[in-house]
């Protein structure tokens, strides 16, 4: 489950994306400024389009350890799924059991996806870039995922009111 959690935090995949993820879709970046990171090729649902998503070095290390532990490094089939014998539903059931076992009763499969997309947006403040990262066709869909920070919203509204107040004073 740790591999599922780490991939979910890095990539914001849909549960179906993870259920279909193949070993051949993950490559380690061997040189350049991104050395040590991983690159995951995700096929978009209901499309032939692919998106490339980076994973951090610690997740890439976990992928390598998982492969070594399972003894599949040498005998791997390119089309072999990482989460073997798991449909999206069976993977979801395993994940929910894992979280229930650890006292988290309200886990939803989209929790990681929503949090990762929200954090990605907060870091770059670019809705178009976030939309692309999430694999959405429409920005309206991405906006649904982005949680509003109520404290920040209140702070910005207060600044807006102060600026408007100052403008009004200059007009009088």
Which of 145-153's residues contact partners 24+ apart within 8 Å by CB, and which partners? 145/113, 145/114, 145/117, 145/118, 146/117, 146/118, 146/121, 147/114, 147/118, 149/122
The token duo for 143 is 């906006």
Q: In this structure, what token pair is assigned to residue 159?
A: 């600044």
Which residue is listed with tokens 């404290």? 151
- pLDDT bin (cut points 50, 70, 90) of residue 66 is confident
pLDDT, one tens digit per residue, over 15-55 is 888 888 888 889 999 999 999 999 998 876 666 777 788 89
Report pTM: 0.71
The CA-atom distances, in angstroms, between 33 and each of 29, 30, 61 are 9, 10, 17
Residue 130's pLDDT is what?
Answer: 92
Copy the structure tokens of residue 123: 């870091």
| Domain residue spans of the chain | 2-106, 110-172
Chain segment 67-122, per-residue pLDDT in tens = 888 766 555 555 678 887 778 888 888 888 888 998 988 888 778 888 899 889 98
Answer CATH for 2-106 from 1.10.443.10, 3.40.50.620, 3.30.930.10, 3.40.640.10: 1.10.443.10
User: Average of pLDDT values for 111-138?
Assistant: 89
Residues forming a β-bridge with 38: 28, 55
């Amino acid at each position: 489950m740790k591999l599922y959690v780490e991939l979910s935090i890095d990539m914001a995949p849909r549960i179906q994306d993870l259920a279909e993820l193949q070993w051949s879709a993950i490559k380690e970046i061997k040189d350049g400024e991104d050395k040590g990171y991983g690159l995951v090729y995700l096929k978009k649902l209901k499309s032939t389009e692919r998106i490339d998503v980076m994973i951090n070095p610690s997740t890439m290390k976990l992928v390598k350890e998982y492969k070594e532990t399972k003894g599949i490094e040498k005998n791997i089939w390119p089309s072999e799924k990482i989460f073997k014998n798991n449909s999206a539903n069976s993977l979801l059931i395993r994940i929910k059991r894992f979280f229930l076992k650890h006292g988290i009763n309200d886990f939803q499969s989209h929790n990681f996806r929503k949090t990762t997309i929200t954090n990605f947006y907060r870091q770059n403040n670019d809705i178009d870039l976030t939309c692309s990262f999430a694999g959405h066709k429409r920005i309206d869909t991405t906006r649904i995922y982005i949680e509003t920070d109520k404290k920040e919203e209140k702070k910005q509204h207060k600044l807006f009111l102060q600026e408007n107040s100052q403008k009004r004073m200059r007009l009088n």
